[in-house]
Amino acid sequence: MIKEQSLPNINNFEKQPVEAEGFDMEEKNRDYELPLEKEKESSMEIMKQMAEYYNKLKELKGKSGTEKINKIKNFIGGSKNQQAKINRVKAFLSLEQDPDMGDRIMHLGERLKEKPKLADKVFAEYAANVDSAEKNADELAKLYNEIFFEKQIDRNKAKMAMLKNAGNLLYWANEGLFSCEEQEKEDMINDLILQLRRQEKAQKAILNDLKSLAATLNKKYKEINDLWRKKDWDEEIELQAHFLEQDGFSKKEIESHIEAMDEPIENYIASIEEKDEIDKQKKYDSERIKKIINKLENYYRENLYLDSILKLSDFAKIWQVDESQAKKILEDKRLYQEERYKPFVGKFKILLKFQQSFEQKIDQFIYGDGMPELPEGVKQEAADLIFQKYQEIIDQTKITKIQLKALFKNKKKVSDEEIDQATEIIIKKADNLLHNFAQRFSQDEKIDEKEIINELENYKANLILTASVWKAADKEGINFEDLEDVSSERKTAGEITEHGKTMKLVNEIYDRETSKKQPFIPGGNIRSAISQYAAEASPEERERAGEILEMINIYSKQYAHKPKLREKLIQGFIDKLNTAGDKTAIYSFKKGGHVLAFDRFDDLGKGKKYFGSFNVLPALTDSAIGSALLRASLDKEAEQSAEIEADCEPEKLISSYYIEKAGFVVKKIIPDYGDAGITAFNISRKKENSKYYYRDYKAEDLKKEHENNFSNNKFNKDDQYIILKFESNDGKPIENEQQIKEMLDQAGDLINSNGYVMTRYIFSKDRRAVYCALEREGS
């Protein structure tokens, strides 16, 4: 609960600049009990926070603040129950620091507006998680600050960390409700409620474990301290007995004297500053324990005499002995100190392992899963940013796992275990990335912190891209098995070729292969061929060269039937890699680290991009893998592009896909494309393409329209809309442009010379005919 002194004066609350709209504390005829007094005070604090948030929004320029306020009011107003409204506000305020999550929780409320009671239960459970996180954060801060000398916990960061999993559950619900059937919504929400309850209990259990571990540490430290005191006491008794015996006391008198002695108050080890600090402040973090161990080990280090304050010769003069005797005296002292301190060093080392384990657990609880250890030399600001980026990756892997489960939840043949196994591969790759960083940190004297941060950011972006490909794959009907051990990434040409010898290696191997009668290296042998051919190349250079050569290999197989075009396209691709830098982006789809499909986007300036080099391994032509990558990469590039252009072959099924599913229209038909003796479609994708007349027609309706109004391809050149049908001129499935020459000639004339665009392009099921819908530009 919030401390009483921090609560607002209830009587003065109405004087706040903006009231917490959507609330009425005096609401009558409520069908629920009023909260307890402290809960009511807490509710007033929540309302005050909401009022302050509204004030910030009202300060925004333009309509954005007002629009956001209206959305929030609608979200809060989704429940008539006053306590339920407060629960919704708690949920929103806990997530609004992340704008995406703030919006998603409002989307969740919108998707559940037809099921208000279920929605109230969801937000009540999440609010309970918020309250629990508040309480746990206070306890954790107390525990943390009692342990560490210099480190202090960010209480709000700890609270938000504890709410991450609960927030991810809401994310999963928002994603799942979007894709599931109406009849499945209730089961999904009940499952979410159960998961939220488990999450709250899990947080409490973890905190209790931390408290238990802290108690164990206290006990172990006390055991060491008590043992040290006993050893001091035993030595004091031995010394007293020795002096009394020399003075002539009897054994019985000595025993009587020892029994009457008081246990010494101060420890012999009190001279060790760090332990003295621990004893006084009751704080025992690992850094202090390490210093104790180092100092104790220093007392019995080998060759103690070599680095004494006095030279051995001076020491011998003081003791009036020769140097060999002085060395013996010091060695005896070392052996005595080793016998005294070494057992305690062993115990402190055991304590240190417990302490480090505890500190790691507590930091994981607050800041997230296993952070990499950074060496000395990394600036604190850079370390914080690296930790932040790493945690974003961990969060994204969890979200990606949630997305995959939501996508395949209703596929009967896919078990939870299979989904877990597939997504664990992704998380393992994130761990490997961090492990590689740790190795680089330990090996390199100079650390390029920006490079590390950029790589982490790129990995996160590619993880998001992989999730996008999965979503697209689900729409394309891809098999789950095809997604196991897959990844997608976006890299610029400059990033792919940044390692010095990469392109030199590619060019040498490509030139050697093209001189053969039957190029190219079989795909599976490319990596081994590189190893044999480039022993001096670095692992990074080999890896990048292998990727590029795998892409070229796919190109070679894809265009084996058109050698002249193949040579031209591959050389153009290589030239782009050599010269384009960050002006060209390459998307790739990999399985087991090998490229299965890829495409390319060139920045033409002024918001325009050229899409090319879309290639899929021929063995996977009938799979949805290529179209999944295509859909995801096009959608990604379209976010920052007003127009995307491309060229394609009219006889290929993929050309129909571009126009039917990827949002392109044919703007021009190009004869003798690239001096390669073929005809090509020049296609364009813009947002405005969705407004064309025929875009919403179902394929069957388009065919009927042709039969009813354009049979035998009869039309007038001044018609705004035309549908044409062309059959293969040899009666066989369409596989080359000569079979559709009539279509290319007639449609080419309409598009190139009469102001039409082709907005639909559909092959018949047997591929012996193709339908074209044409519309006047701007009609």
Q: What is the rounded average pLDDT of the residues 620-635?
A: 72
pLDDT, tens digit, 9 for 90 and up, residues 179-191: 566 666 777 777 7
pLDDT of residue 91: 72
The pLDDT, as a whole number, for residue 63 is 62
- Do residues 723 and 710 touch, judged by C-beta distance below 8 A? yes
pLDDT tens for residues 314-333? 767 776 778 788 778 777 77
State residue 126's pLDDT score. 80
The whole-angstrom separation of Cα 459 and Cα 463 is: 6
d(CA 401, CA 467): 9
More confident residue, 238 or 397: 238
The domain locations on the chain are 380-484, 485-640, 642-779
CA dist 425 and 486 (Å) reads 9
CATH fold label, 485-640? Aminopeptidase (3.40.630)
Higher-confidence position of 620 and 369: 620
- Structure-model confidence comparison of residues 17 and 531, the more confident one: 531
pLDDT at residue 659 in the model: 94
Q: Residue 447 above 70 pLDDT? A: no
Residue 735 DSSP label: -
Q: What is the DSSP letter of 491?
A: E
pTM equals 0.52
Closest CA to 638 of 611, 615, 661: 611
Q: Where does 368-445 have alpha helices with state H?
A: 380-408, 416-443
Integer Cα distance of 414 and 151 in angstroms: 47
Closest CA to 644 of 674, 606, 676: 606
Q: In what order do the strands lie in the sheet with 486-492?
A: 486-492, 584-591, 594-605, 608-616, 643-648, 680-685, 664-670, 756-763, 769-776, 721-727
194-229: per-residue pLDDT in tens?
Answer: 877 887 787 777 777 777 777 777 677 777 766 766
| pLDDT average, residue stretch 759-766 | 94
Q: What is the sign, positive or negative, of the torsion defined by CA atoms of 487, 434, 431, 463?
A: negative
Distances (CA, A) of 432 to 402, 541, 587: 21, 19, 22
Instruction: Place 464 in a pLDDT band, splitting at 50, 70 and 90.
Output: low
pLDDT at 682: 96
pLDDT digits (tens, 9 = 90+) for 708-755: 999 889 998 889 999 999 999 888 999 888 999 999 999 999 999 999
Tell me which range, 7-16, 31-40, 352-361, 723-732, is most confidently predicted by mean pLDDT: 723-732
Check residues 582 and 205 and name the one with the higher pLDDT: 582
**pLDDT (mean) for 383-392:** 59
pLDDT at 132 over 70: yes
pLDDT at site 12: 33
Higher pLDDT, 314 or 269: 314
Q: How far apart are CA 164 and CA 398, in angstroms?
A: 10
Question: Could you report the per-residue pLDDT of 533-548, keeping only the tens digit for each?
Answer: 666 777 778 888 888 8
In the predicted model, is pLDDT for residue 379 greater than 60? no
Backbone phi and psi for residue 196, each to the nearest 5 degrees, phi listed first: -65, -40
Which strand (E) or helix (H) includes residue 299? helix 286-299
pLDDT band at 370 (very low <50, low <70, confident <90, very high): very low
Which ranges of 148-184 does DSSP label H, i.e. alpha helix? 155-179
**More confidently predicted of 447 and 124:** 124
> Encoding tokens for residue 462?
């590619």
Longest dimension (CA), the chain: 135
Q: What pLDDT is recorded for position 413?
A: 53
166 Cα distance to chain centroid: 17
The least confident of 122-131, 132-141, 169-178, 645-654 is 169-178
Residue 670 pLDDT more than 90?
yes
Q: Residue 517 — very low, low, confident or very high, per pLDDT cuts 50/70/90?
A: low
* Closest listed residue to residue 371, CA positions, set 387, 389, 392: 387
Q: Are 397 and 463 in contact (CB under 8 A)?
A: yes
Q: Which tens digit of pLDDT belongs to each residue from 31-77?
A: 333 344 445 555 666 666 666 666 666 666 566 667 777 777 777 77
| Residue with the larger pLDDT of the pair 257 and 726 | 726
* pLDDT (0 to 100) of residue 195: 78
Rounded Cα gap, residues 45 and 418, in angstroms? 46
Tokens representing residue 463 in the block:
């993880």
At 32 the pLDDT is: 31
Residue 475 has pLDDT above 50, yes or no: yes
Of 414 and 73, more confident = 73
Q: Which band of pLDDT confidence, cut at 50, 70 and 90, is reported for residue 24?
A: very low
DSSP 319-343: HTS-HHHHHHHHHHHHHHHHHHHHH
How does the average pLDDT of the chain come out, rounded? 72
